[in-house]
């Protein structure tokens, strides 16, 4: 039997929201995202969180069927990313998504390539995708 997913469906109502906000706000601002815009996405009810310890990823379903990781925070990402990717991919497939997309800072490129496809790259950010097999 598969392990239960570590997905938080209603982050704003979760008992650890105060921690998530404290962890995610500086990451958002470092990435030139307005925190009020981030809160708006959370309040809209479409964003869920993957969480394990101090590692957290914000996920949305895009109109094109991708599960998008649009904000995240963690330490020693190489030590926890495989588990996160497996759990997020399983959640994505269960919710009708057929690919994962990461929109983030350029460091993701070093971690995810060559298995993920580079879709877009700017001076500070990248967009990478991974097709999911259902």
Residue 72: beta bridge partners? Answer: 57
Q: What is the mean pLDDT of residues 4-28?
A: 88
Q: What is the pLDDT of residue 1?
A: 40
Q: Which pLDDT tens digit goes with each residue over 28-44?
A: 998 888 999 999 999 99
Phi-psi region of 65 (alpha: psi -120 to 50; beta: other; left: phi over 0): left
pLDDT at residue 134, rounded to an integer = 65
pLDDT for 41-99, tens place per residue?
999 988 999 998 889 999 999 999 999 999 999 888 888 899 999 999 999 999 999 99
At 13, the pLDDT band (50, 70, 90 cuts) reads: very high
Rounded Cα–Cα distance for residues 59 and 71 (Å): 8
The CA distance from 62 to 97, in Å, is: 9
- Give the pLDDT of residue 31: 82
For residues 95-124, average pLDDT:
92
The CATH H-level (homologous superfamily) assignment of domain 7-131 is Gcn5-related N-acetyltransferase (GNAT) (3.40.630.30)
């Amino acid at each position: 039997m598969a392990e239960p997913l570590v997905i938080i469906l209603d982050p704003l109502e979760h008992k650890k929201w105060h921690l998530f906000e404290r962890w995610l706000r500086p990451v958002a601002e470092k990435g030139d995202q307005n925190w009020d815009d981030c809160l708006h996405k959370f309040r809209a009810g479409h964003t869920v969180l993957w969480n394990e310890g101090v590692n957290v990823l914000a996920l949305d379903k895009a109109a094109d069927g991708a599960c998008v990781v649009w904000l995240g925070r963690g330490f020693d990402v190489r030590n926890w990313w495989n588990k996160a990717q497996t759990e997020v991919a399983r959640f994505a497939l269960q919710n009708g998504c057929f690919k994962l997309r990461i929109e983030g800072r350029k460091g993701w490129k070093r971690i995810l390539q060559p298995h993920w496809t580079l879709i877009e790259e700017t001076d500070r950010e990248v967009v990478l995708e991974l097709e999911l097999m259902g």
